Chain A
Amino acid sequence: MTPGALAERRDLLILVLDSLVPASAEFPGAGVVALDHVLAVAAASADLESLLSRGLQVVEEAARANGVSGFAQASPDDRESVLRQVERSHADFFEALVRHTYDGYYGHAVVVTRLGLDPGPLHPRGHRIEAADLPDLSRVTARGPIYRQA
């Protein structure tokens, strides 16, 4: 498998990612925000690139076997059905694909923001927790010691 083989299947990859995490009213699809991450991790590992690239080939072949000319021509329902087929037949590929898709998607600033969190580094900002009184521990202490003397 030549380097960049996955990038050559970029259009198919976008469709697959969008099937894994479709766009909704408030959130973009994974084909938009997870794509760069998936391509980047694949570019950093020849094994992963090969696994994903071959997996996409299987996706395309499975779509054709289902009677359409390719995954792109399938309806959203049929795409999901094809992917479920491939998930069963090529578990390693699918496991890696979903993992890196979720990593890229939920690590992306746009998604993190829509989840209601501040994107970007955790430091130096941290998180604010409102000050509160110490909890009422009277019920717990009322029982007296619960440890065994030894």
Chain B
Amino acid sequence: MATDDRTDVLVIGAGAAGAAVAWRLARAGIGVACLEQGDWVDPRAYPHWRADWELHRHTDWSAEPNVRRLPQDYPVNDSASSISPLMYNAVGGSTIHWSAHFPRFRPSDFRVRSLDGVADDWPIDYATLEPFFDLNDRMMGVAGITGDPAYPPKSPRQTPPIPLDTLGVTMARGFDRLGWHWWPSDSAILTRDYDGRRACVNCGPCDLGCPIGAKASTDVTYWPKALASGARLVTRARVREITLGPDGLADGAVYYDREGRVHEQKARAVVLAANGIGTPRLLLNSRSARFPDGLANRSGLVGRNLMFHPYAMVRGVFDRPLGGHRGPIGCSIIGQEFYETDPSRGFVRGYSFQVARGLSPIASASGGSVGDRVPWGREHRRAYDERFDRTIMVAIIGEDLPEPANRVDLDPALADSHGIPAPRVSYTLSENSRRMLDHGIARAREALEAAGAREVAFNPLLRAGGWHLMGTARMGRNPATSVIDAEGRCHDVPNLYIVDGSTMVTCGGVNPTSTIQAVALYIADGIIRRRA
């Protein structure tokens, strides 16, 4: 086994959270090494440069690792889950294929138990995270407009909002007619050149990556700065286990390099940033006499309380072209009329409307995320033309509540290409979430019809919608009911930190990356303070 030079902090995972932490620590003069099982994505490799770009969405550029099956991916047994987990393994992690919708959690999201009597409060609050939200916004570059009454006042956005275009203006009119909240989305996509990066050219499919770096994947935001500050990044390095010293503290990790050789990377502290599935998988694979049930798992909660954001998709068909193929696919308008708890609705907590763009030519035929394929046969062309470029997709993104039975554990048979046991995901949609989504579907239909839709169809639960992987090593003050403390340290192993979506106590009703990164920066600040 080769032994690499000892470092101050070992970061595992180079995605949204790992990149932020690596940059923050390196900039403070702390030695950082990061192990990433994926590779750099060559901007010239994105499908946007090819005429058949759309065909790649369901093959080698699928967001599902079980479909993509690249050498750097690991399989996930999701047969017992109603939602398939999505992720990308590369420098930049899942920010490579995210849509960059970038809302923050709201203040109430951190006080769910106090306000609504469900789940648990976070041990930190919005005010604590606010400077880290702002710092992260500057690093990622956010298009948007201040003044949204759904949030406390925010710092100025880095560029003007993504253009609403015909589609967004049409949908805004629907919300206005109903008197409901809407706002141009905060999007981590530049509408003007910023910080050495180019502005978006509105090509559309951000979910296949961004070949010009206008979308804020962390390979183009944090990593160049982290590397310039001295961080060391090792790619195609798959971690097998985190190791412990005789004092019971984490002292590094064992990993396979791209040739399959085993290395040991020693460190004074370890930061896990491998996402809400990869992190519990690695902890559960790091068994020892001291931790026979998995590292830092004396609570038995590692892998439990898995939260996805369950998505329902509602599509309206209009009588006129909407130009929906233009502009960032996932970013237009956010609507938060039904975000906070209202007991009269029959469920606790709430959801957002995420108004996306229209569908590209092939997706229009297959029905996209609603899945109602255009019928074949003599009526096909007419049916297709009635739909193409005339649709608006409204996603309902609901707040899932943590439930111990929803979990990640190790599959007894499945393993990755290095023989490391693969994760198994068990997830059932709760009754509260079902009622929430049903409410959202009905309200989205009202909004689409108010905007002029002549036909509305929906998918009650998007199976391939597990973009957000959260809650599997949650934060809390009580070691019996949480895995990490309010500073991100594992209760059981105080020099082992967790910074990805696993940390989340609850998941809000919005896309989580902005909040995940703010939490990661906050935890990094604590590491720096303690070192000083």
Contact = CB atoms under 8 A, between A and B. Distances in A.
Interface of A: 19-22, 24, 27, 76, 80, 83-84, 98-99, 101-103, 105-107, 109, 111-112, 115-117, 119-129, 131-132, 134-135, 137, 139-141, 143-150
B149 interface: yes
A149 B49 contact: no
B202 A102 contact: no
Contacts of A150: 107-108, 110-111, 114-115, 125-126
Given A22-B381, A134-B161, A147 B151 contact: yes
B203 A99 contact: no
Contacts of B107: 147-150
B49 A106 contact: no
Given A106-B362, A117-B325, 8 more contacts: A106-B365, A120-B51, A122-B49, A123-B201, A132-B164, A132-B169, A146-B149, A149-B107
28 contacts: A19-B377, A20-B376, A20-B380, A83-B376, A83-B377, A84-B377, A106-B54, A106-B361, A106-B362, A109-B51, A111-B361, A115-B389, A121-B49, A122-B204, A127-B203, A128-B202, A131-B163, A134-B145, A135-B172, A137-B183, A139-B179, A143-B181, A146-B149, A146-B150, A146-B336, A146-B339, A147-B152, A148-B107
B353 interface: no
B92 interface: no
Interface size classification for chain B = 35 or more
A129 B163 contact: yes
B48 interface: yes
Closest A-B pairs by Cβ, 10 of them: A126-B201, A127-B326, A150-B111, A106-B361, A102-B365, A150-B107, A122-B203, A20-B376, A126-B203, A148-B108
A18 to B, nearest CB: 11
Nearest to B362: A106
Contacts of A116: 389
Contacts of A129: 163, 165, 202, 323, 326-327
Contacts of A131: 163
A123 B114 contact: no
The winner among B49, B181, B325, B380 for most chain A CB atoms within 10 A is B380
B67 to A, nearest CB: 13
A3 B380 CA distance: 32
Contacts of A21: 376, 380-381
Interface string B174-202: 00100101111000000000000000111
Contacts of A147: 106-108, 149-152, 339-340
B261 interface: no
Contacts of B339: 146-147
B80 interface: no
B14 to A, nearest CB: 25
A6 to B, nearest CB: 18
